[in-house]
Structure 1
Amino acid sequence: MTSNQSPNDVETQSIDLMQELDPSPVQDEFPDLESGNYIPKTQSSQSVDSNVPRLSTPNLGLRGYNWDSWLSALQKYSTYPPSLFMALHFVNTSLIPLATRSIPDSETYLLLTRPIYQSPGLEHAVLTVPILIHVTSGIALRNLRSSRRARLYGAETRSQRHLLTFWPRMSLQARLGYGLLPILGTHVLVNRVTPLIVDGGSSGVGLGYVAHGFARKPIVWNLYYTIFVAVGMWHIVGGWAAWKGWRVTTARKERSKKGSLEGYLGYMRNEERVKKQKRVWWVVNSAAAVGACFWLTGALGIIGYGGHGSGWEANSWNEIYKQVPVIGTWL
């Protein structure tokens, strides 16, 4: 303040410099961390003028350009090639044996898909690499959301994170997927890895090889394939239902919102919505059950009763089963 200014002039000037701010609502709840909606806005993004034209780039179905979107997209689209492979495998190991009622006749159709089943480059591109991407992206998503929760609540050490239980709870879909991994690994070990070690390839592995294994240890293989088909079918059908928005194996109970009628007055959800959820639940589980029954009927009912092989081929198969790592003595 200069000597020529009065206190009233200074006060008037200070009031003129003040900026009037519009009121903004206070957020009473934390954002949904599981869906990846907690994305802090940077100062630079807030200061950009909305009138400035921007270059529009296709996002290929991704919701923004954050890690959640990219990992979710990888987890989703990596299931397309294995699903095609499983559909083809379902036809060769279930529907065709059911139609022909003969393992030798079914082997003829299996030979048509040998380029996919045993071509090293194509097999890994269609099956191995997509499955690894699917599993890795799922684990990365869980770690990302866990670390985000830890930062939100201020947990810094591992012990603090353990006490606050920041690791997202697994849904039924995730449990089925992680449970399927060792079962699928055993299938690959018996039918692809061990024949490669013993015979230098799996050209002699087919439906007769599987039938020979059933004849050697019927209880082991009937139990194994029943679990394998059931877990795999429910995971695949439940996953595709989730991609379509029908969340059955991934459904979670909705949390009551603070200040809502549902939270304080026990307001019932819309009856029509409940009926739709029940209808979707029945459709998805019925589809999985029907698919599993068809697959098991062809695999256990036809291939499972194929009996022992004969001659040098049976001796080769016996040697392969005996040399399976870890579990060879049980086969």
Structure 2
Amino acid sequence: MDVKKLSTDDGDARSLFSMQELDPSPVDDLSPNLESGGYFPETSPGPGFAVSKLGLRGNRWDTWLSALQRYSTYPPTAFSVLHFVNTSLIPLATRSVPASESYLLLTRPVYQAPGLEHLMLTIPILTHIASGIALRNIRASRRARLYGAETRAQRHLLSFWPRVSVQARTGYFLAPLIGLHVLVNRATPLMVEGGSSGIGLGYVAHGFARSPVFWNLFYLFFVTAGVWHFVGGWATWMGWKVTTARRERGSNEGSLEGYLGHSDNPERAKRRRKMWWMVNGIAALGASLWLAGALGIVGRAGDGAGWEAKGWNEMYSQVPVIGDWL
């Protein structure tokens, strides 16, 4: 079908929606990605001519942004592993918040060393989010050109993030939760007391005692989304794309695998199912362990006492926007 023959009225623009499902991004690595030029060779067939001039080849922005998106996850992952140990595994082992406080020294140097926190967390997380959004917009724009969208309505249908994977959704859901976590545990103590040297598991437990419903729900969503995003992301880096966008079960619409000689087969389907169960099983186990320590031990430790509890009450009440709820 010649896309240029499509009418420019709204009805025909809506009919282009079906072409949105022709996103040539199959789960398998064997199938090339046409939108980023994967079907065309790297080498130039002759002097003065580059495959990228066809408009189907990804340029260097794709390479740089993909590298930024990937390698920016390394420092936060290292920190998250340590944070998982001292906020979940150690409380589970000691069964006591006071006995677990000293182990926060595993990650406390990241908070205390000048600039190290921003180098390990702030800059990498912002880089990861920004590079992901930039990549999505670049590839969406390329998709609109590839399918020959001419009118504004057609470009909108093909370029406005038509297929957001589970991996991306968990990331976008996680971003504001990280922001709130930082606001309560880092920014507010910095504004009120000039630092967070007095912030630990007792402070978090005191917050649970003040607003149990809010904090139980918050950490349930925060931990679950965070663990699934990290595990799914690392699985994707390793080639196990079980959280990426994929076609509906039982439907060949939206797949070019058959035309390119990579039709699905039972063996590959079985391998996919095995990967899916393995990755999601690891994520479920990690989230369960983290929640067991965070909600089961820290969340039930109760109020603080004395002058320390008074200071924590002051900090929670001065959290911007939501302080009255906490």
Shared fold (TM-score, shorter chain, > 0.5): yes
User: How many Å separate the matches in 1 of 2:293 and 2:246?
Assistant: 35
Q: Equivalent residue of 1:110, what SS?
A: helix
Q: Equivalent residue of 1:47, what SS?
A: coil
User: How many Å separate the matches in 2 of 1:90 and 1:193?
Assistant: 21
Q: What residue in structure 1 maps to residue 316 of structure 2?
A: 321
- 1:99 Cα deviation (Å)? 1.0
Q: What residue in structure 2 maps to residue 37 of structure 1?
A: 38
Q: Equivalent residue of 2:79, what SS?
A: helix
Is 1:47 aligned to 2:46, yes or no?
Answer: yes
Q: Which amino acid aligns with 1:37?
A: G
- 1:105 Cα deviation (Å)? 1.5
User: How many Å separate the matches in 2 of 1:168 and 1:205?
Assistant: 43
Report the CA distance shift for 1:128/1:281 in structure 2 as closer, same or farther (over 3 A).
same
Report the CA distance shift for 1:98/1:160 in structure 2 as closer, same or farther (over 3 A).
same
User: How many Å separate the matches in 2 of 1:131 and 1:314?
Assistant: 32
Q: What residue in structure 2 maps to residue 14 of structure 1?
A: none
- Report sequence identity in percent: 68
User: How many Å separate the matches in 2 of 1:206 and 1:227?
Assistant: 21
User: How many Å separate the matches in 2 of 1:235 and 1:127?
Assistant: 16
User: How many Å separate the matches in 2 of 1:83 and 1:105?
Assistant: 26
User: How many Å separate the matches in 1 of 2:257 and 2:193?
Assistant: 65
Q: Which amino acid aligns with 1:315?
A: K
Q: What residue in structure 1 maps to residue 239 of structure 2?
A: 245
- 1:118 Cα deviation (Å)? 3.4
- 1:34 Cα deviation (Å)? 4.3
User: How many Å separate the matches in 1 of 2:188 and 2:126?
Assistant: 21
Is 1:276 aligned to 2:275, yes or no?
Answer: no
Report the CA distance shift for 1:71/1:93 in structure 2 as closer, same or farther (over 3 A).
same
Q: What residue in structure 2 maps to residue 310 of structure 1?
A: 305
- 1:206 Cα deviation (Å)? 0.4
Q: Which amino acid aligns with 1:232?
A: G
| 8 Å Cα contact 1:149/1:166 also seen in 2 | no
TM-score normalised over the length of structure 2: 0.79
- 1:35 Cα deviation (Å)? 4.4
Report the CA distance shift for 1:102/1:256 in structure 2 as closer, same or farther (over 3 A).
closer
Unpaired runs of at least 5, structure 2: 1-22, 25-31, 49-56
Q: What residue in structure 1 maps to residue 209 of structure 2?
A: 215
Is 1:122 aligned to 2:116, yes or no?
Answer: yes
| 8 Å Cα contact 1:36/1:145 also seen in 2 | no
| 8 Å Cα contact 2:35/2:142 also seen in 1 | no
Is 1:108 aligned to 2:109, yes or no?
Answer: no
Any residues of structure 2 matched to 1:184-199 within 5 Å, and which? 184-199=178-193
TM-score normalised over the length of structure 1: 0.78
Q: Which amino acid aligns with 2:185?
A: N
Q: Which amino acid aligns with 2:77?
A: S
Q: What residue in structure 2 maps to residue 161 of structure 1?
A: 155
| 8 Å Cα contact 1:107/1:206 also seen in 2 | yes
| 8 Å Cα contact 1:214/1:307 also seen in 2 | yes
Is 1:286 aligned to 2:287, yes or no?
Answer: no
| 8 Å Cα contact 1:145/1:168 also seen in 2 | no
Is 1:233 aligned to 2:230, yes or no?
Answer: no
Is 1:301 aligned to 2:300, yes or no?
Answer: no
**Greater alpha carbon shift after TM alignment, 64-73 vs 319-328:** 64-73
Report the CA distance shift for 1:130/1:158 in structure 2 as closer, same or farther (over 3 A).
farther
